[in-house]
Amino acid sequence: MGIYWCIALVVIVLSLAYVFFNYIKIKKMKEGTDEMAELAAIIRGGANTFMKTEYKTIAIVVVIVALIFSLFVEKSSGLTLIIGALMSSLACIVGMKSATYANVRTSNKARETLSIGETVKVALKGGSISGIGVQAFGMLGLIFILLVWGIDASSRGSGFLLGLECNPSTMRITTYSLGCSLVAMFNRVAGGNYTKAADISSDILAKIRHDLPEDDSRVPNVIADFIGDNVNDIAGNCSDLLESFVATMAAGILIASTLFSKGDISESTYNAAKMYPIILAGGGLLSCLLGLLIVQIRKMGDNPSKELNLATYISSGLTLIIGLVMANVVFKGVDLPKSFICGWITPWISAVLGIISGVAIGMITEYYTSTDYKPTQILANMATEGEAFVVTKGDAVGSRSCLMPVLLIAISLFISGKICGTYGIAISALGMLSFVGTTVSIDAFGPIADNAGGLAESCHLPHEVRVITDKLDAVGNTTAAIGKGFAIGSAAFATVSLIVAYVGSYSSGEPVLNMASFVVVAGGILGGALVEYFSALLTDNTIDSAKKMADEGDKLLSIPGVLEGTVKPDYNKMIETATHEALRKMLFPSVLALVIPVVGGFLFGVEFIGGILVGATIVAIPRAIFMGNSGGAFDNAKKYIEQEKIPGHGKGSAAHKAAVVGDTIGDTRKDVVGVALDIFIKSMSTVANTLGGVIRTFTLIK
Say yes or no to pLDDT of 401 above 80. Answer: yes
Q: Distance between CA 344 and CA 268 in Å, rounded? A: 13
State pLDDT tens for residues 163-204.
Answer: 677 788 888 999 999 999 999 999 988 988 998 898 889 888
Q: Rounded distance, CA 288 to CA 643, Å?
A: 34
pLDDT tens sequence across 1-59: 568 878 889 999 999 999 999 999 999 999 999 999 999 999 999 999 889 989 998 99
Give the relative orientation of helices 235-261 and 267-297 as an angle to the nearest 10 degrees.
160
User: Average model confidence (pLDDT) for the chain?
Assistant: 89
Assign residue 593 a region (left: φ > 0; alpha: ψ between -120 and 50; beta: otherwise).
alpha
Rg (CA), the chain: 24
pLDDT, one tens digit per residue, over 308-361 is 888 888 999 999 999 999 999 999 888 888 889 999 999 999 999 988 888 888
What is the CB-side half-sphere exposure of residue 175 using CA atoms within 13 A?
28
Can you say whether the dihedral through the CA atoms of 676, 679, 685, 688 is positive or negative?
negative
Residue 329 is part of which domain span?
A: 2-698
Please give the Cα distance from 267 to 276 (Å, whole number). Answer: 14
What contacts 230, CB < 8 A, 6 or more positions away?
Answer: 43, 47, 96, 99, 100, 103, 447, 451
**pLDDT score at 319:** 94
Q: State how far the Cα of 641 lies from the Cα of 657, in Å rounded to an integer.
A: 10
- Between CA 630 and CA 638, with CA 632 as vertex, the angle to 5 degrees is 105
**DSSP per-residue letters across 311-355:** HHHHHHHHHHHHHHHHHHHHHTTS---TT-TTGGGHHHHHHHHHH
Number of structural domains (the chain) is 1
Taking the C-alpha atoms of residue 109 and residue 124, their distance in angstroms, rounded to an integer, is 13
pLDDT of res. 446: 85
Whether the CB-CB separation of 186 and 691 falls below 8 Å is answered with no
Separation of alpha carbons 98 and 125, rounded Å: 9
DSSP of 536-573: HHHHHHHHHHHHHHHHHHHHHHTSTTTTTTSS---HHH
Q: How far apart are the first and last CA of the chain?
A: 42
Q: What pLDDT is recorded for position 508?
A: 66
Closest CA to 698 of 612, 613, 609, 591: 609
Q: How confident is the model at residue 651 (pLDDT cuts 50, 70, 90)?
A: confident
- The pLDDT score that the predictor gives to residue 178 is 92
d(CA 487, CA 212): 34
Q: Are 252 and 277 in contact (CB under 8 A)?
A: yes
Q: How confident is the model at residue 208 (pLDDT cuts 50, 70, 90)?
A: confident
Rounded mean pLDDT of 512-540?
93
Q: By C-alpha distance, which of 371, 487, 461 is closest to 119?
A: 461
